[in-house]
Amino acid sequence: MIALNKKTDYGLIALCCLGSRSPEVVSANTIAKTYGMRSGLLMNVLKDLSRSGLIGSVRGSQGGYRLARPLEKINLAQLIEALQGPPRLVPCARENASGQPCDLAEQCPVSSPVRKVHLKLIDFFKNINLADLLDVEQAEIGLGRVKPQTR
């Protein structure tokens, strides 16, 4: 079953923060303090996002991170793959290390339908861009840039 892990959760929050402040450079410390995140895990997430090309890093005393491209150009499949590896519906939905399907695929009565669902799921993730998914206004509230509305 597909579940977004803590790293992906942190990645979504970090990208939302960076998106709300784009094109500014934001330090990992600022993100961690603003959202109450564990800085060690956040640093690992930011490194993975940078390595995957979703964000860029800036060195120096005013360094930090910024989006490498707009949130509209980053999809959920890219984020999941950067932080969790390729999304999988079930372990047998992808080929093994030798490029072959699951050992039971020939006898399995659900192999073909599960693979079809898996491919639809991947397409679904590819069609969700982070601008649609993330609440940038909420990130701005967290950063003190927008006052929350009272009802």
Q: What is the pLDDT of residues 22-69, one digit of tens each?
A: 899 999 999 999 999 999 999 999 999 999 999 999 998 889 999 999
* pLDDT over 50 at 147, yes or no: no
Cα–Cα dist 97/25, whole Å: 39
* pLDDT over 70 at 4, yes or no: yes
- Give residue 61's pLDDT: 87
* pLDDT over 60 at 144, yes or no: no
- Give residue 22's pLDDT: 87
Average pLDDT of every residue of the chain: 83
For residue 57, give the 3-state DSSP assignment. Answer: strand
- Which of 7, 25, 18, 10 shows the shortest CA–CA distance to 63? 25
What CATH number does domain 6-86+130-142 carry, 3.50.50.60, 3.40.109.10, 1.10.10.10, 3.40.50.300? Answer: 1.10.10.10
Domain boundaries, the chain: 6-86+130-142
The separation between CA 32 and the C-alpha centre of its own chain, rounded to angstroms, equals 16
Mean pLDDT for the stretch of residues 71-99:
80
pTM of the model: 0.78
